[in-house]
Every structure is written in C-alpha cells, then in structure tokens.
Amino acid sequence: MAKLNVNPTRMELTRLKGRLKTAQRGHKLLKDKQDELMKKFIDYVKRNMELRKSVEEELTVAFKNFLIARAVMSSEVLEESIMYPTQKAELEMRTVNIMSVNSPIFNLIREDNKETSSLYPYGFVTTSGELDGAIYSLQEVFDKLIELAQVEKTCQLMSSEIEKTRRRVNALEYVMIPQLIETVKYITMKLDENERGSRVRLMKVKDMMEKQKAIV
C-alpha cells in the first residue's frame, strides 16, 4: 500500500495519528450503520414480497370479474356505469428518517360524495354482479397498493443508501486506513533513524571533546 506524500516530522506524525484514529472510529460507525441498514432492508423486502403476492392475487380476482362483466355487458353500458365515481381520494405524503433514509409515508384520504354514500356509482338493473365484485375488490386492494408503493420506494432508497455506505466503508477499510498506517510507520521509522543518527553524532562529539581534554 502506497504511503502518503508528507514530511516525516513529529508534528505531521501527531496529525496523522489523529486522522487515523478518526478514520477508524468513522469506519466502525459506518460498519454498524451498514449492518443495521441491511437488517431493516431485509425486513422491508420480506414485507414487500408479502404485499406484492397479496395484491397480485386480489387484482387477479378484480380483473377476472371485470373481464366477465365486459363480456356480458355492452361497452357503452359499462363505460357509462363507471364514468362518475361516488368517491374522491387525495394522497398525502410525509417522510420519516430511517438510518439517514427519508422513507415516504403515504396517507390516503377518501372523500365520499354527499349525494350518495354507496360504493357503486350506478344502478343494479343494467349491470352485472361481476362488475360489483370487481369494484369491491379494487376498493379492498387499494390500501394495500398504497402500502406496496410505500414499501417498494423505501426498499429502493435503502438499497441506494446501503451501496453508498458500502463504498465509504470499503474506501476507509482498504484505502485510507492502510495508507495512514503505512505513513505513520514510515514517519516513525524516519524519526527513530534520525534520533539514532543524532545520538551517534553526539557520542562522537563527546569522544572528541574527551580526547582533546586528555591531550591538554
């Protein structure tokens, strides 16, 4: 591992030791964050799979009923029957922070038509029972669809955050920390070498002074 290009001084050694300590502490925190994110991500993925399976089954039933209704009813009557819905809905969104991930929270607000509280926007004379079943099934699955969108978006955001955290952990673990360790070793060896050289020179000077005193 290549060392950093720095001057081998005690001041630089102290500064690099501080950076190394900070990098090691940051690496531990990021590693813990990555592990916790993975646990939460797995939980959300399991919930996503459960919701998707349930939603697909219920939508299959609703679409099947719609197809049967379309087969037994004329297109004009079918379109006229569902043209004016009896309910309106608004979707509110807020976010909640999960391990630095701004996860969306969707809230569906239904507004019933004051003129009628019925789910079905048509009379029952010219329509089929399958159309009633399809509309009821869609009504029941709608909340799950909203939750599924919420969970899938959270999974997507968490996946992106896990990837970012993984890159930071790897950069610290395999690049920055080894470089700092190598540089600290290099500066320590240089300083020790300079200290030994200075000691040898002092000993030689002392010997020369003692020899001069002996001659005098």
For the chain, the domains span 10-209
**Cβ-proximal residues to 141 (8 Å cutoff; 6+ apart), any chain:** 55, 58, 59, 62
Nearest-angstrom CA–CA distance, 83 and 97 = 40
Q: Dihedral of CA 38/35/22/24: which sign? A: negative
pLDDT digit string (tens) for 44-96? 999 999 999 999 998 888 888 888 887 877 777 777 777 767 777 788 889 99
pTM recorded for the entire structure = 0.75
What mean pLDDT, rounded, does the chain reach? 84
pLDDT digit string (tens) for 156-183? 999 999 999 999 999 999 999 999 999 9
Share in percent of the chain as helix, strand, coil (round to 5) = 75, 10, 15
Cα distances (angstroms) measured from residue 88 to each of 108, 118, 144: 10, 12, 17
Specify the CATH number for 10-209; select among 3.10.20.340, 1.10.287.3240, 1.10.10.10, 3.30.1330.90: 1.10.287.3240
Q: Are 169 and 31 in contact (CB under 8 A)?
A: yes
H helices of 73-128, in order, are: 75-81
Q: Does residue 213 or residue 107 have the better pLDDT?
A: 107
pLDDT digit string (tens) for 115-128? 555 666 666 666 77
Q: Does residue 31 or residue 200 have the better pLDDT?
A: 31
Nearest-angstrom CA–CA distance, 80 and 65 = 17
Nearest-angstrom CA–CA distance, 3 and 183 = 5
Nearest-angstrom CA–CA distance, 200 and 134 = 95
